[in-house]
Amino acid sequence: MQNLLLDFILQYIHLDENEKNAIASLDIFHTIKKGHILLKQGEFSNQGYFVLKGCVRSFYIIEGEEKTTAFYTEMEGITPQCVIDNKPSEYYISCVEDSILLISTPDMEDEMFQKFPKFESLCRILSEKLVSKQQIDFDNFKISSPEERYLNLVDKRPDLIQRVPQHQIASFLGIKPQSLSRIKARIIEKNK
């Protein structure tokens, strides 16, 4: 697990032994069971998550219905809005599968930034990349129909279709489960 993390970081910046050890010494690896809720709507939290293995989902509950808005899988991270703005969370975060997560707090991060400014560079670079990626994802969502969004998901994140229940996929695509079933049937019909 340590190595997965180091390899990921080394794609972006170089680390000396000292810095590698600093990471290794952080006791931040956590094994979380499927279904466990990491963050609840209305709750305060100062935890950020980085997925080393497994899958994490964020969702709202609106009029009793779950609205899934994001999935985070291997080498993806989330810092919930409530951590950044210091206000109660508007959404839930839970584990879709048994997962290994890296859990951090702003205090820990600030400490690392103090000791190793390089880590702040890393976080800046990763954040900037993420801003740009998110914008593209949002753009593609806007300019696509539900059917196109589904086909795009099958193309870009085929693993998700397998590892996540369909009604969560539907919600993630901004439609109802019944519509997703219909879309899938329509696609099969077309390809005949």
Q: Quote the CA–CA distance of 109 and 128 in Å, as a whole number.
A: 17
Structure tokens at 46: 């100062």
The answer for residues whose C-beta is within 8 angstroms of residue 147's C-beta and 6 or more apart is 183, 186, 187
The answer to whether the beta carbons of residues 101 and 39 sit under 8 Å apart is no
Show contacts with DNA in window 130-149 (CB under 7 A). Answer: 145-147
Q: Quote the CA–CA distance of 91 and 58 in Å, as a whole number.
A: 7
Q: Quote the CA–CA distance of 46 and 24 in Å, as a whole number.
A: 22
Nearer to a second copy, 98 or 152 (CB): 152
Nearer to a second copy, 47 or 58 (CB): 58
Kindly tell me which residue out of 24, 37, 84, 185 binds DNA, with binding defined by CB under 7 A.
185
Nearer to a second copy, 98 or 151 (CB): 151
Number of residues that bind DNA (CB under 7 A): 20
Nearer to DNA, 77 or 146 (CB): 146
Asked if 9 interacts with DNA (CB under 7 A), we say no
Q: Minimum distance between the CB of residue 134 and DNA, rounded to whole angstroms?
A: 22
Q: Minimum distance between the CB of residue 87 and a second copy, rounded to whole angstroms?
A: 11
